[in-house]
């Protein structure tokens, strides 16, 4: 088996589409036999999947990656493990131990409060060019600071978030990938004072649930796990010590199972958006 890792100065490079090098590991029976550094030949994210396929890569470990690149890897039959950071050797060892969790097309692998619709608006906190903050977002407001009020509801009318109720408008740079893609795209073409209603499919919002984000841990290996119950939302830590929200979905005497998918993953969302202000600085 061959595992490729986006590489820069010994660490996992965070932007798949902009990586200049990969560190490729030859693995047999769960052990690393050797490794080498290969160049990306200046390929953009659309061609990198083909390059890796040509090198016989079975698994890609990276930090951030966009949805288009993820689909390209799937088409080439390359397994993806996104959301890694830190030393590349340690990341591969963690993968081989089954401890590296694939976060999917998240672009910067950061799971934190930014992802909570109930606490701070529908942020997706993306920041790489091969994501939805890139050339796919077009309109006069791209690259400008926008202040909006919004209300978010599910298809059954249930409200899940509202800046109106909080009394605090949301401010963000349009097109910079700070928002979920459909929200960003809607604001990109709006005029100040305009109010629009948009319906977003999961791929335009928080994506679809990732089965790799559901994982089980021995209770004895996780301090405090015996005190939580099924249905409770908790904060775990990723490999870099950052907080990662997850829901407890199962528990028995020895094992506890977490679901680290975003709570809105797989859902269609509706937004009423009012553009209050646009600034260039």
Instruction: Please tell me whether residues 216 and 274 are part of one structural domain.
Output: no
Whether 101 is covered by a domain: the verdict is: no
Same domain, 86 and 123: no
| Of 34, 61, 96, the domain-final residue | 96
pLDDT at site 90: 92
Q: What pLDDT is recorded for position 104?
A: 59
Rounded to whole angstroms, the Cα distance separating 68 from 226 reads 40
Query: Does 41 map to a domain?
Result: yes
172: in domain: yes
- Nearest Cα to Cα of residue 25 among 1, 3, 52, 8: 3
Decide: 206 and 200 in contact? Cβ < 8 Å. Answer: no
- Whether residue 103 lies inside any domain: the answer is no
How far does CA 178 lie from the centroid of its chain?
A: 12
pLDDT for position 37 = 95
Distance separating the N- and C-terminal Cα atoms of the chain:
49
pLDDT attached to residue 242: 60
Domain that holds residue 84: 2-96
188 and 82 inside one domain: no
Shared domain check, 235 and 162: no
- Answer yes or no: is 236 within a domain: yes
How far does Cα 139 stand from its chain's mean position?
24
State whether 73 and 13 are in the same domain. yes
133 lies in some domain = yes
Find out whether 125 and 243 touch, Cβ atoms under 8 Å: no
Sequential pLDDT tens for the chain (281 residues): 999 999 999 999 877 878 889 999 999 999 999 999 999 875 554 578 889 999 999 999 998 777 677 888 888 999 988 878 889 999 999 889 887 767 654 443 333 333 322 333 334 333 333 333 444 688 999 999 999 999 999 999 999 999 999 898 999 999 888 889 999 999 999 999 999 999 999 999 999 998 888 989 898 888 788 888 999 988 776 655 566 788 999 999 999 999 989 889 999 999 999 999 999 87
Question: What pLDDT score was predicted for residue 268?
Answer: 96
| CATH number for 228 | 2.40.10.330
- Does some domain include residue 102? no
Enclosing H/E stretch for 216: strand 214-218
The pLDDT tens digits of the residues spanning 185-211 come to 999 999 999 999 999 999 999 999 988
Same domain? 176 vs 273? yes
Rg (C-alpha) for the chain, rounded Å, is 20
271 and 143 share a domain?
Answer: yes
Residue 226 forms part of a structural domain: yes
- Are 199 and 222 part of one and the same domain? no
| Residues 117-141: tens digit of each pLDDT | 233 333 433 333 333 344 468 899 9
Q: How many whole angstroms separate alpha carbon 15 and alpha carbon 40? A: 13
Q: What are the DSSP calls for 29-47, one per residue?
A: TTEEEEEEEEE-TT--HHH
CATH of the domain at 39: 3.30.420.130
Mapping DSSP to helix (H, G, I), strand (E, B) and coil, where does residue 80 land? Answer: strand
Let me know whether 10 and 88 are in one domain: yes
Contact 153, 117 (CB under 8 A): no
User: Are residues 227 and 170 part of one domain?
Assistant: no
What letters, b where the CB count within 10 A reaches 16 and e where it falls short, cover 152-168? bbeeeeeebbbbeeeee
Task: Look at the chain and report how many structural domains it folds into.
Answer: 3
Q: Give Cβ neighbours of residue 97 (< 8 Å, ≥ 6 apart).
A: none
CATH number at residue 161: 3.10.50.40
| Final residue before a domain boundary, out of 69, 96, 123 | 96
């Amino acid at each position: 088996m061959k595992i490729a890792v986006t590489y820069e100065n010994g660490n996992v490079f965070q932007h798949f589409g902009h990586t200049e090098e990969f560190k490729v590991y030859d693995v047999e029976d769960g052990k690393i036999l050797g490794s080498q550094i290969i160049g990306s030949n200046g390929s953009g994210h659309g061609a990198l999947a083909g390059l890796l396929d040509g090198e016989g890569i079975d698994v890609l470990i990276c930090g951030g990656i966009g949805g288009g690149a993820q689909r390209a890897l799937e088409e080439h039959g390359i397994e993806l493990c996104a959301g890694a950071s830190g030393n590349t050797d340690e990341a591969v060892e963690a993968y081989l131990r089954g401890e590296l969790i694939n976060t999917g097309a998240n672009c910067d692998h950061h799971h934190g409060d930014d992802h909570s619709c109930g606490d701070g608006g529908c942020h997706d906190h993306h920041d790489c060019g091969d994501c939805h903050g890139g050339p796919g977002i077009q309109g006069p407001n791209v690259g400008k600071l926008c202040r909006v009020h919004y209300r978010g509801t599910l298809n059954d009318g249930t409200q899940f978030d509202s800046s109106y109720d909080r009394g605090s408008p949301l401010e963000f740079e349009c097109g910079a990938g700070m928002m979920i893609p459909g929200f960003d795209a809607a604001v990109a073409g709006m005029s100040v004072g305009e109010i629009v209603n948009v319906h977003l499919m999961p791929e335009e919002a928080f994506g679809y649930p990732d089965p790799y984000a559901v994982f089980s841990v021995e209770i004895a290996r996780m301090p405090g796990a015996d005190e939580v119950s099924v249905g409770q939302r908790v904060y775990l830590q990723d490999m870099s010590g950052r907080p990662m929200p997850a829901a407890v979905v199962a528990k028995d005497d020895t094992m506890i199972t977490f679901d680290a998918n975003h709570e809105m993953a797989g859902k269609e969302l509706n937004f009423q958006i009012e553009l209050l202000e646009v600034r260039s600085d």
